[in-house]
Every structure is written in C-alpha cells, then in structure tokens.
A and B are shown apart, each in its own frame.
Chain A
Amino acid sequence: MATLQISSLTLEVANRTLCRDLNVQIQPNESWCLLGRNGAGKTTLLHSLIKQRVIDEGSVLLDGKNIADLKQRELARKIGILFQQGIEALPATVFETVMLGRHPHLQSLLLDNEKDIEIAEQALAIFELGSLKERPVDTLSGGELQRLALALLLAQTPEIFLLDEPSNHLDVAFQIKLLTVLTDKVREASASLIMATHDINLASRFCDNIILLLEGGEALVGKCSDVLTEENLSKAYGCPIQSVYSGEHRLFYPA
C-alpha cells in the first residue's frame, strides 16, 4: 500500500498563502481529517495531490516518487478522490457511471472485462445502489448521487482515498452509515484516507490524525487526540469552540 509524503509544501492562491512549508507523512491504514475555515485551502490541498493544481513549492512523493513525474493514469490507480461537487447529473445510467471508476485500470479496448464489472457491481451493492443500476443519473436524488460518487471512488480501488466534504447531501443517518461502510472498506484494503470536512465531530469520529489549517498558511499536524482541542479549534475557526463528552464521543460545538 502506498505512502504519501508531503514535503515543504506551499500553496498560494491569488497571492494568498494557503499553506506554507507543510510536512505530512500519510502511511497505509491511517485516517486523516483536514479541517479549516472556508477558503483555508482544504480543497486546494486535495486537488494538488492529484495534480489538478500546480504545486508552488515543495513536493509530494507517492511511494518515494514525485507525483510531478508520474503519469496521470498511474496516479489515478493509487489516489482516488471524491469531489465536493459530487457527480454531475447527466443522462447516463448508474452502472455506466460507476464503471468509470475502472478507467485507470481498464486493459481491454472495447469490451468490459468480467473483473471490472464485478468490482463495479460490488461497489454499487455496498452503497445500496444495486436496484438503481439502470436508472439514468439525472433522475437520482442528491443523496443517491453522493452514494454513487462514493461507489465510483470505491470501484476505482485506490490506495489513498481523498474525500472532499463526503457528508454533502447526506442526512445524519446516511452520514454515519456511509462513512462507516467506507472507512471499513479502506481499513480492509489497508488503504489510507484523507477527509476534508466542516463537521468537526464527524472528523473526530472517523479519523485518528488531523491537519488543521490556520490563518496565514500555518497548519497543525498530528494525532486528533493531541491537536483537536478547544483552544486549537477556536484559533483555527476564529470563534470560541467548546466540547462536552457524551459517552465515548467528545462533541465540539460553537460557544
């Protein structure tokens, strides 16, 4: 399984520094959350990891190789991403869409091979979309589209899962259920996960490690148990945040 090494990474947008000299090492089996205010650079950071955005300074190494030197296709076999925007509702079927996840792996030119079909169907089944297989994507609800996007990502079988706001369009029950299913699959595959979210509680529930982006390009990196404190969060979000314990879960809320 793949190791991702972010070294001295600097990202700038319109002369504003989003992160400066960021160093993170993401090992197999690790789950990371990426927190920060609106515009702090969560999405930009995720996009830079799949070369959708140029890196201003520093480097990202995937298993020791600079991603700048990797072909997009090689990268896509190792790193998959769930976009914040989800999947566009176009007139294609659910099955055609989830099969796109196999694109980085497809070997045969015209016909789909059995193995790819099987992986795609499993991914649909895991997100309870099996019965919607032949439905046009433009007839799905927001929640169904989000599940389809997750199924597509799972069908891609990456070794590193990047999730940008995975709880978008999902009700509370589905947020917990789908993220549980997904994180189980990630763990089963000994893959790793980086999840950008606005939901501190969801992050602390599903992730062990954290990158907390602060104003001015600083970032706190470490274990959730060390970094997720009232003080750090209040500083990051620029508003007082407190916490209470409820059983095993620690819940954060704006004061």
Chain B
Amino acid sequence: MIFNKQILLLTSLLIFAAASILFSLLSGSVDITLAEIAGSILSSESNLNSQVLQEIRIPRTLAAFVTGGLLALSGAIMQVLLRNPLADPYILGISGGAAVGALSAILLGASGFWLSNAAFAGALLSIFLVFGIANQFGDWSVTRLLLTGVVVSAGWGAVINILLTTSSTNNVQSMLFWLMGDLSQSRVNLAHYLLLIVGLAGGLLLSRSLNVLIRGELLAVSLGVNVQALRLLLFFSASVFTATAVTIAGSVGFVGLIIPHMLRLLGARDHRLLIPSCILLGGSFLVIADSLARTIVAPQQLPVGVVTAVIGVPAFILILRSTIRK
C-alpha cells in the first residue's frame, strides 16, 4: 500500500504552516524583512525590530498556532465522541464556563494572569458540572452528555448576558473582545506546547480506535473497543484542550468546527491522518486569521474570532462545493 496521498497532504500542511508563521512574522505596523527575521533568530544582537519580533510577534504567533491546533484537535475529538457533525469544542459548555470566569475577572478589574486563571477555573467547573449531571445515575450516554452540555451552555449564556448588560461601557469592550477571541495578550509557555504534543501523540495512539468508534458504538464494541472507557478519555482530553485554548485566547469560534470538516472533505477521514492534519491546519489557520486581525484595520485590531469566520465561511463553502461536484 502506498501512502502517497497522505504524505502529500501532510507535506503541504507542513509547508502551509511554515508559510503562515512567516506571513505572521512579516505582517504588522513595523516593516520587518526576511533578513531581519533570520538575523533576529540566529544572533542575539538587539535592535528595535528584533525586539518587536522577540517580544511581540513571535510569542503571539506561537500562541495563535498552539490555540488553533488545540481547538481543531478538540473539535475532531468531540465530533467522534458525540457522532455529530455540528459538534465543536464549545458544544458542551466549556467556553461558557470559561467566559463567565473571565468576564467576572474583568468586572473585578483583573487582567493577565488572574483573567486566565479565572477562565480556566470556569472551564473546569463547567466540565465537572456537565459530567456530574450527565453521570448522576452511574451510567451516562452520549445523548445525555450532549443534552446536558447544551443546557448548561445555555445557562452560562444567560449569565454572560447579565454580566454584559450590567457592566460599564469600558468593561463591555474588553468583554466582547474576550468573547470573540483575542490574541493580543496571549502568551504560551512550555506547558502549552507539552499539552499539544501530548494531544498529538495520544490522538495518534487512539486514532485506530477513533476510526472504529466514529462508525458506531455497536460496531466498535464488536471490534474490541472498550467504548465507555474510550469515551470518558475523549471527553476529558477534549475538554482540557478546549479549556486550555480558551484560557490562552478567549472563545475563538469556528476553528474547532470547521477545520476537521474541511480536512475530512479533503480526504483525511482516517484519524491517523486527521489528527496531525488538524493540529497543523488549525494552527496555521489561526495564525493567518490573527495576522489579518491585527493588520486589516491597523492601528485598530479586530477580534480574531471575527476574522476566523470571515475567512472560514467562504473557504468551507468552496471546499464543500468542489467535493460535491465530484
């Protein structure tokens, strides 16, 4: 068996990822050349441009890549877990919980570290709330989980609206940016990279079981998959990926829903290919969206979540149309 097609897709995605990162480093209000990028990375000499790169653009680009990768990975897992094409990383209310945490922190005047921690705490609270309710009688089904998640999500939505309508104009501005996803304050550290690598490795290890599970519970059981244990693992890992992504960048929409679908339409249905592809394309996609978000209306910045939808919708429709014609 020759894996030409798969290798071609992965290679293109790798090149695309590198190109998107380069594009992001080159865009911005200060003009920086390729030579300066190379110089800044290779040598330690310090000038204004290399400072802009080292302290602003590189961290922000890497944050965008990690966030996009985690969201797409989480989306792909949720779609298998819930066997629902509409599933995205936020469907079970994780982003709602994170948003309530983050917005409360903004209301209390917190930013940076405390804002992130509040968002993460909110996400965790939501994960356990949803699972706790769905699992109340010792057995939980995917339908129960989905219904509980959607209901809890709606509850968070109401709290978010209360917070928005009762806050001062100044706070509302930052709250809306957070809600639509915003990378301007985002930084990632070693733990985030590790999580992404663990996600990749774990996803690859489970990829064959995911291939079976997506074809239905009965078939999966008959082919030797411990369905209930696998689902538990999928729920908690996807939740942690989502919670982490939301903590880094707010609820960036669209990436987690559309990237896995795009890749499936492009032929990456097998999870051995889909998992790494999701991380690469999700990361690249968010890097590009964020570059545009901070340059289109410079010196103003758009929330990155707006840009993901603006590029994502037409791109997805194009791919959908081209595959239907075949």
A interface, CB within 8 angstroms of B: 50-52, 71-77, 80-81, 83, 85, 87-88, 90-92, 96-97, 100-101, 103-104, 106, 109-112, 114, 117, 156
Min distance, Cβ B125 to any Cβ of chain A, angstroms? 33
A50 to B272, CA, bound (A): 27
Tell whether A51 pairs with B221 under 8 Å between CB atoms, given A71-B226, A100-B215.
Answer: yes
If A51-B221, A92-B269, A110-B272 are given as contacts, then 20 extra A-B residue pairs at C-beta distance below 8 Å, sorted by A number, are: A50-B221, A52-B218, A73-B224, A73-B226, A75-B224, A76-B222, A77-B224, A80-B222, A83-B218, A85-B218, A87-B219, A91-B269, A96-B269, A97-B215, A100-B211, A100-B212, A103-B208, A106-B208, A114-B1, A156-B223
The B223-280 residues at the A interface (CB cut-off 8 A) are 223-226, 264, 269-270, 272
Contact yes or no, A50 B208, CB < 8 A: no
Tell whether A101 pairs with B204 under 8 Å between CB atoms, given A92-B269, A96-B269.
Answer: no
15 A-B pairs with C-beta separation under 8 A: A50-B222, A52-B218, A71-B226, A73-B225, A75-B224, A76-B224, A83-B222, A87-B215, A88-B216, A88-B219, A90-B215, A91-B269, A100-B215, A104-B223, A110-B272
Contact yes or no, A72 B221, CB < 8 A: yes
A51 to B222, CA, bound (A): 9
A126 to B272, CA, bound (A): 28
CB-CB under 8 A from A50, the residues of chain B are: 221-222
Asked if B3 CB lies within 8 Å of chain A CBs, one says: yes
Question: Whose C-beta in chain B lies nearest to the C-beta of A73?
Answer: B224
A75 to B204, CA, bound (A): 24
Asked if B158 CB lies within 8 Å of chain A CBs, one says: no
A104 to B209, CA, bound (A): 10
Size of the chain B interface, CB-CB below 8 angstroms: 24
Asked if B86 CB lies within 8 Å of chain A CBs, one says: no
Contact among A90, A103, A111 with B224 in the assembled complex (CB-CB below 8 Å): A103
Min distance, Cβ B238 to any Cβ of chain A, angstroms? 21
A38 to B269, CA, bound (A): 38
Asked if B197 CB lies within 8 Å of chain A CBs, one says: no
Question: Whose C-beta in chain A lies nearest to the C-beta of B205?
Answer: A109
CB-CB under 8 A from A91, the residues of chain B are: 264, 269
A151 to B108, CA, bound (A): 63
A106 to B212, CA, bound (A): 12
CB-CB under 8 A from A74, the residues of chain B are: 224
CB-CB under 8 A from B222, the residues of chain A are: 50, 52, 76, 80-81, 83
CB-CB under 8 A from B3, the residues of chain A are: 111
